[in-house]
Chain A
Amino acid sequence: MNTFEFWGDNFPQMLAGMGVSLQLTLGALVMGIPLGLLLALGVSSKLRLLRWVCLALVEVGRGAPALVVLYVVYYGLPVLKLSPEAMTCAYIGLTYTTCAYTSEYIRGGLKSVSPGSIEAAHALAMPGLDVLRFIIIPQGLRVAIPSLMGFAIQIFQATSLTYSITVREVTAVSYSVASQTFRALEIFTLAGIMYAIITIPASWLTNKVEQRLTLRH
């Protein structure tokens, strides 16, 4: 069986694994980015306690490797008499890493909003929450979009770490194929190609979006 036949035979289960990877990425982003926004607002808060708690969450989340976060969740939750599935642990761990990182990108975006437009909104008698919702957050998020897209690519790659907590994503599938067939080089090459097929166009898209956003302003 040559390499292409070998790839073809294993492609269906590899594709299923990739499905899991994409699902994890989407879940981490959908849950993590809104939480990141909340953390960004918390870190910028005037309330000292809130600011410190949020800052601690962000710094720990950014400081600890994603793999360590996954292990802490996976081995930590049972200690609390909870026994979530591996997939749930993966969602929790990746979401935490995502919200910690994205909060910093979003905070940078929020800080870049021109003080003039904020002042104008205040002068127009818009209440503080409205200023945040309609003026600061939309402008700040727009600035953060390219770095958030860049991060999305990174967290997609980081889903491979969930292999270590028994999630059957594409790296885990590759590993089990390799241990059954002893054709590790070939199967991991396929895995690499499959990751690249997603990440390379995603990087192009990120650049395109970045250019468009710079043109607009």
Chain B
Amino acid sequence: MTETIAETQTETVPKGRYSGKVDIGLKTPKYLVELAQVSKHFGSNHVLKGVSLRVKPGEVCSIIGPSGAGKSTLLRCINLLETPDSGNMVVAGQYVDLGKPQDRRALLSLRRNVGMVFQSFNLFPHLTVMDNIALPQRRVLKRTEAEAKEHGMELLERVGLADKADSYPAKISGGQQQRVAIARALALEPKAMLFDEPTSALDPELAQEVLTVMKEVASSGMTMLVVTHEMNFARNVGDHLVVMEDGAIIEEGDPEQIMSDPAQERTRQFLAAVINH
């Protein structure tokens, strides 16, 4: 089964596609996130069919594709919120053999390097905005309360929400909650950020304020993997575009190039559907 997939994949892979071997010998890795042959089943459903992907430091990689393509699952495998069945990866210099059960310390150190922003924001509802940002810093980075709050305030200013520090999440808008969630993830000074459809639960207007913050984060040099339906973001902010369908990458490369002249018919159909909706 795996062999067949590997074969078909090499055949259909466009030129220059990554073959799927993690390079662990390099002292200064060329890639900040490197996935090789990541495979995942949910029951009998093969959701990731040996996906390989490389993201350079500072790169913004957008992942698009129809729902059920495995985009979110792929993202969630990178910080091991999902446990893949097989494959391996290097994330911020840390090698992970995905076929094995993960050691607790390795898991925490991996997650420390990778921030994540969720579609449904997932703020801690019982804590104020400031405490949402301060608590992980105190517990994970062992910062003092004062340090955590000072740093938290800087980040809230950065996302334009300094005046909401003492509000509870339920009292602020979805767009504001998502900006807090971004600040909370940034507070741990991650090497890469994963965005799982960060604007899908928001009205266009609120989505825009989140996209503005994401753009600012991208321009600060953060390595970002963004699962999104925002084609403008993918095109204008993204450096690399990945198109997924049915648990595999069907096409990847320069966003401008793919959007104006996709190599795959399926990509063309998908783009036509999302752009004209």
> Are B124 and A126 touching (Cβ within 8 A)?
no
Enumerate 17 A-B pairs (CB-CB under 8 Å) in ascending A order. Answer: A116-B120, A120-B122, A120-B124, A120-B181, A122-B81, A123-B111, A124-B140, A124-B185, A124-B188, A125-B109, A125-B112, A125-B188, A126-B136, A126-B140, A138-B126, A216-B168, A217-B170
**Inside 8 A of A138's CB, which chain B residues have their CB?**
126
Interface members, chain B 92-118 (any A CB < 8 Å)? 104, 108-109, 111-112, 114-116, 118
Tell me the B residues contacting A by CB distance below 8 Å. Answer: 79, 81, 104, 108-109, 111-112, 114-116, 118, 120-126, 135-136, 139-140, 168, 170, 181, 184-185, 188
User: Which residue of chain A has its CB nearest to the CB of B196?
Assistant: A123
For residue A138, give the distance in angstroms from its CB to the closest CB of chain B: 5
Please, how many angstroms separate the alpha-carbon atoms of A134 and B136 in the complex?
10
Alpha-carbon distance A120/B114, docked complex (angstroms): 12
Main secondary structure of the interface of A (DSSP, over half): helix
Q: Are B125 and A130 in contact (CB under 8 A)?
A: no
Nearest CB of chain A from residue B157's CB, rounded to whole Å: 21
> Which residues of chain A are within 8 angstroms of B135 by Cβ–Cβ distance?
134
Using CB atoms and an 8 Å cutoff, list the residues of chain A in contact with chain B: 114, 116-117, 119-127, 130, 134-135, 138-139, 142, 216-217
Contact B111 A127 (CB under 8 A): no
* A129 and chain B: residue at smallest CB distance: B139
Total CB contacts across the A-B interface at under 8 A: 64
**Contacts A120-B116, A139-B124 known; 10 new A-B pairs at CB < 8 A:** A116-B118, A120-B123, A120-B181, A121-B124, A121-B136, A124-B185, A125-B140, A127-B139, A130-B139, A217-B170
Q: Are A125 and B108 in contact (CB under 8 A)?
A: yes
Q: In the bound complex, what is the Cα–Cα distance between A101 and B123 (angstroms)?
A: 31
B124 touches A125 (CB 8 A): no
Residues on B with C-beta less than 8 A from A139 are 124-126
How far does the Cβ of A3 sit from chain B's closest Cβ, in whole Å?
A: 51
Chain B residues within an 8 Å CB radius of A130: 139
Does A142 lie within 8 Å of B126, measured CB to CB? yes
Q: Contact between A124 and B184 (Cβ–Cβ < 8 Å)?
A: yes
Q: Are B118 and A120 in contact, CB atoms less than 8 angstroms apart?
A: yes
* Chain B contacts for A216, CB-based, 8 A: 168, 170
Task: Pick from B81, B115, B124: contact of A117, CB below 8 A.
Answer: B124
Nearest-Cβ distance from residue B237 to partner chain A, whole angstroms: 22
